[in-house]
Structure 1
Amino acid sequence: MPNLVRHAALALALTAALVLTGCGAEVTSPDRKNSGTGASGHYPVTVENCGQRKSYAKAPQRVVTNDVGITEIMFALGLEDHMAGFVMPDDKGDLDSVPWKGAYQRTTWLSKKTINKELVVDARADLVFAGWNYGFNEGEGFTPAELERVGIDTYLLSESCRNGRGKARGVMAPLDALYTDLRNLGRIFDVEDRAEALVATFRKQVAEAEATALKGADRPRVFLYDDGQDKPLTSGRYAGPHDIITRAGGDHVMKDLEDTWATVGWETVVERDPEVIVINDYGDVGAEQKRKFLKSYPPLANVSAIKNDRIVVLDYAELVESPRNPAAIASLAADLRGLRR
């Protein structure tokens, strides 16, 4: 069977979702300039973020975001006017073809390297929106506690919440994490109507994809390959790919992995014999190089996905928590249906 690749339906579905809500690249609601001023008596507000209650006396005005999914959550809510800028490597795909092209152009790209305290202090940030292993890292000395010491507030990506077992991450289903962050940020920035419109549209989009997805015994076993040759980095049940695979009609072979992104052994992959492999496309080692490795790696020679050349490619921004997740479900559902024809 020829290789399966992501197709134009993904972009079309995502664009349709944004048009339905009136959010995204060009937010034209009349209260845009006034949102977050506190004039409506909206403040103070309190939200729960990764198990902690956080209060805001007003909407942050100089937010620094880290990475593409986090940045696009802000853009999807039309909050680029509240941003000092974003930090992101330039290996996360084509940003000119996304619905938020205008928001990217209007917002300062602060760095293509690692986010750090000096950078956000220089940007005069009043809030940093990042996550554990999405910028925050004790080894680098960049943590919410360290920023609090210099008077900068933080909001943690819900996908990255630690669950109390060491540094393992994940406290809720991946799509619930996306909806939680949209609603929390809607309250923090006094744009709750926009947040609810996005959540409603995303839920509808996911439901429509699930209605056409493979069911029962037709569901193929699916493995997410992020990177790594000695041992593969993959998705557990709390990272975006779990809900994307499952709701698209696949059986996620690492659904018992109680973490978000984690390393496993190749012997586990061989034992679970995935019928489809989804490649996460990003970084210096692109999808084609990853595909060639998988096809040539001797221990995988008898794995069904390799024998039958059933490999799907999705972009990084579709697989981490982001507004692209629902459209990725629709795209993958179409690919998986194609396997059974």
Structure 2
Amino acid sequence: MKLIRLALGLCALLGAQLTLADTTQYPLTIKSCNREVTFTHAPEHAVSHDINMTQMMLALGLKPHMAGYSGISGWKAVTPEMKVILDGLPELASKYPSVETLLNANVDFFFAGWDYGMRVGGDLTPQTLTPLGINVYELTESCAFVMKRPAASMQDTYNDLRNLGKIFNVQDRATALIVQMQQKIAEVQTSLPATKPRVFLYDSGEDRAMTSGKLGIPHALIEAAGGNDILSDIDASWTRINWETVVERNPEVIVIVDYSEVSAEQKQHFLQTNPALQSVDAIRNNRFIVIPYVQATPGIDNVLAIETMAKGFHPQ
């Protein structure tokens, strides 16, 4: 949350330097995945889905434009800091909102992603909501589920922040936040050694491992922190793989995503006691790093994930 306060403080410094060209001119057309979305004015009753997208909107000072949020309490623990910034903003659904829920809240904008509140062929999609007067902006990283795109990078998150800045006419705040994130990542990367440990990200699963290929943001975070993602050749976003693949690629470090009913400690215990994984270097040497869900998904806390992983990859 310190990042939010620092970024908003920087807004005041940058605001005086921005020209009138940075003011949104409506109607505005924004690219969202493989679609174009047109806004005649800034949304007034927006809803964000999931903790990472809600955090982005709140960091941009968009709470007055929001009807609420969804998909947080039903899945992830809300930190005391997050409770403070959510105060006064209703959670419309603890997991997935229905179309009726959005209509009852008079929602005019839905910020979500594929596999982050929306699924192909589901009830909540741009195709079902747009005719009802609800514009949808899709999380850039999640576009891999509906179109061909390159490997995930921090540019995906910067793109979302820039587009939100344009949509809501708060481009100065978006610029400030992006600059702050870039500066912090640059500080981390100036001291990284040339050696890169082999890294595997473990989200969940016992029969098979839920993880991320090169199209998911964890790939970008591992690389930015000076690690070598063992699944960098997997042309997928969030996906499942066999444990045989993990053993073959022999990670030196395992990053555990902490959320849901199964704790990070329980996940680590499963990995350490699984007979099939005992030859893996990370397990033999007890090299585990834990990051919360909000840091492992596209958003402003990706900076914290990069800082944490860089220290864990290169303890020296």
TM over 0.5: yes
* Farther-moved stretch of structure 1 (72-81 vs 205-214): 205-214
Which of these residues, 243, 258, 263, is aligned with residue 220 of structure 2?
Answer: 243
Contact 1:80/1:106 (<8 A) preserved? no
CA distance in 2, matches of 1:153, 1:337: 44
Specify the alignment match of 1:110 in structure 2.
92
> Does residue 1:290 correspond to 2:267, yes or no?
yes
Give the secondary structure class of the aligned counterpart of 1:106.
coil
Superposition CA RMSD, Å: 2.1
1:151 Cα offset (Å) = 2.1
> Does residue 1:201 correspond to 2:185, yes or no?
no
Give the secondary structure class of the aligned counterpart of 1:238.
coil
CA distance in 1, matches of 2:252, 2:24: 55
Specify the alignment match of 1:56 in structure 2.
39
Specify the alignment match of 1:258 in structure 2.
235
CA distance in 1, matches of 2:265, 2:207: 18
The 3 A distance-change label for structure 1 pair 220 and 71 is same
Contact 1:173/1:243 (<8 A) preserved? yes
Which of these residues, 92, 96, 115, is aligned with residue 80 of structure 2?
Answer: 96
> Does residue 1:212 correspond to 2:163, yes or no?
no
Which of these residues, 106, 116, 126, is aligned with residue 108 of structure 2?
Answer: 126
CA distance in 2, matches of 1:156, 1:178: 11
CA distance in 1, matches of 2:136, 2:164: 12
Give the secondary structure class of the aligned counterpart of 2:87.
helix
The 3 A distance-change label for structure 1 pair 243 and 138 is closer
Residues 209-246 of structure 1, C-alpha deviations (whole Å, 9 max, x = no match): 1112232xx21100000011111010111222111111
Q: Higher relative contact order by CA 8 Å / sep ≥ 6: 1 or 2?
A: 1
1:28 Cα offset (Å) = 8.3
Specify the alignment match of 2:20 in structure 1.
none
Contact 1:23/1:194 (<8 A) preserved? no
One-letter code aligned to 1:302: S
Residues 317-340 of structure 1, C-alpha deviations (whole Å, 9 max, x = no match): 0000011001211121112221xx
Which of these residues, 195, 211, 223, is aligned with residue 234 of structure 1?
Answer: 211
* Farther-moved stretch of structure 1 (247-256 vs 104-113): 104-113
Contact 2:144/2:236 (<8 A) preserved? no
CA distance in 2, matches of 1:163, 1:264: 17
Percent identity between the aligned chains? 38
CA distance in 2, matches of 1:257, 1:337: 25
One-letter code aligned to 1:97: E
> Does residue 1:323 correspond to 2:300, yes or no?
yes
Specify the alignment match of 1:78 in structure 2.
61
CA distance in 1, matches of 2:150, 2:66: 28
Normalised TM-score (structure 1): 0.84
> Does residue 1:158 correspond to 2:140, yes or no?
yes
CA distance in 1, matches of 2:313, 2:36: 41
Normalised TM-score (structure 2): 0.91
Q: Which 4+ runs in 1 deviate beyond 4 A?
A: 169-172
Give the secondary structure class of the aligned counterpart of 1:173.
coil
Contact 1:205/1:327 (<8 A) preserved? no
1:113 Cα offset (Å) = 2.4
CA distance in 2, matches of 1:299, 1:249: 28
Specify the alignment match of 2:19 in structure 1.
none
Contact 2:42/2:167 (<8 A) preserved? yes
The 3 A distance-change label for structure 1 pair 139 and 290 is farther
* Farther-moved stretch of structure 1 (131-140 vs 287-296): 131-140
- Output aligned runs, 1:303-318, within 5 Å: 303-318=280-295
> Does residue 1:42 correspond to 2:42, yes or no?
no
Residues 66-86 of structure 1, C-alpha deviations (whole Å, 9 max, x = no match): 110111110111101111001
The 3 A distance-change label for structure 1 pair 164 and 28 is closer
CA distance in 1, matches of 2:55, 2:6: 17
